[in-house]
């Protein structure tokens, strides 16, 4: 199931919104994510729901939301909006413009809402403001895909995998971002959970684009 089987593309107005949104996903990988989401949400046995773990300001969510809107589906995007390890003061990706002066902590929730407003996706994308582990405890239904792009510590990646991979329907997809087989190219935790998914025997690799991996549930 190569990614090229779907020819869907993000409209120019929404691409502009995504391009102007803080985030770290390369455009070519975001386009691949869009095609994958479109594919799984359009299948005959689709349940009409995709989940994203790790919202940040909503850059990749625009791509997912656009694909979902085409099929009258929904995207649930989960984030505590306090930033991952690399977003904290003193780290490379800390953005002082996203700090809540009242709490003295990063708060990306308002920027995410602005992104969804500008992209006209407020009725398609449901923002779940909670840690991934807490949200997983109250979740209770199958989904067409889970896209894991949250914290990159081993604990965070493991929690995302343990809490959410189980909800992918048979024939649905587990999508993992920032998978780098060579340690010199990037952090290991996303690669480690990717290997766990394959070694579990529940998922098979269907495709890859850059650091994005597409695994299909048996």
- pLDDT tens sequence across 114-133: 999 999 999 999 999 999 99
DSSP 116: H
CA distance 101 to 33: 34
Q: What per-residue confidence (pLDDT) applies to 90?
A: 57
CA distance 23 to 106: 14
Q: What per-residue confidence (pLDDT) applies to 3?
A: 53
Residue 188: HSE in the Cβ half-sphere, 13 Å Cα cutoff: 7
Residue (of 99, 95, 115) closest to 19 by Cα position:
115
CA distance 152 to 157: 6
Q: Which two tokens stand for residue 218?
A: 């048996």
Model confidence at 106, in pLDDT bands (50, 70, 90)? confident
Architecture of domain 3-80+107-217: 3-Layer(aba) Sandwich (3.40)
Which long-range contacts does 187-192 make (Cβ < 8 Å, 24+ apart)?
187/152, 188/154, 189/152, 189/153, 189/154, 189/156, 189/157, 189/158, 190/148, 190/152, 190/157, 192/154, 192/157, 192/158
Model confidence at 103, in pLDDT bands (50, 70, 90)? confident
Average pLDDT over residues 93-117: 84
State the catalytic residue, choosing from 80, 81, 152, 209.
152
Model confidence at 88, in pLDDT bands (50, 70, 90)? low
pLDDT above 60 for 5: no
- Angle made by CA atoms 10, 83, 60, in degrees to the nearest 5: 10
Q: What per-residue confidence (pLDDT) applies to 8?
A: 78
Any catalytic annotation for residue 152? yes
DSSP 142: -
CA 170 to chain centre: 19
pTM: 0.92
Model confidence at 178, in pLDDT bands (50, 70, 90)? very high
CA distance 64 to 44: 19
Could you give the percent of the chain with pLDDT greater than 70? 91
Averaged pLDDT of the chain = 92
DSSP 81: S
Q: What per-residue confidence (pLDDT) applies to 92?
A: 64
CA 153 to chain centre: 16
Residue (of 86, 109, 106) closest to 96 by Cα position:
106
Q: Which two tokens stand for residue 139?
A: 């979740």
């Amino acid at each position: 199931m190569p990614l090229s089987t779907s020819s869907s593309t993000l409209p120019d107005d929404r691409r502009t919104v995504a391009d102007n949104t803080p985030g770290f996903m390369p455009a070519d990988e975001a386009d691949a994510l869009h095609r994958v989401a479109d594919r799984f949400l359009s299948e005959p046995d689709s349940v009409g729901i995709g989940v994203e773990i790790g919202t940040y300001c909503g850059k990749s969510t625009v791509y997912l939301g656009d694909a979902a809107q085409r099929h009258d589906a929904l995207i649930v995007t989960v984030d505590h909006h306090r930033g991952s390890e690399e977003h904290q003061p003193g780290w490379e990706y800390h953005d002082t413009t996203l700090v809540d002066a009242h709490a003295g902590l990063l708060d990306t929730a308002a920027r995410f809402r602005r992104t969804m407003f500008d992209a006209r996706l407020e009725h398609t994308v449901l923002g779940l403001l909670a840690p991934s582990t807490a949200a997983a405890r109250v979740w209770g239904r199958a989904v067409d895909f889970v896209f894991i792009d949250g914290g990159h510590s081993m604990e965070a990646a493991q929690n995302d995998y343990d809490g959410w991979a189980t909800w992918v329907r048979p024939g649905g997809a587990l999508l993992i971002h920032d998978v780098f087989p060579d340690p010199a190219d990037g952090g290991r935790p996303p690669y480690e959970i990717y290997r766990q998914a394959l070694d579990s025997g529940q998922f098979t690799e269907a495709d890859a684009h850059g650091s994005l991996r597409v695994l299909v549930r048996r």
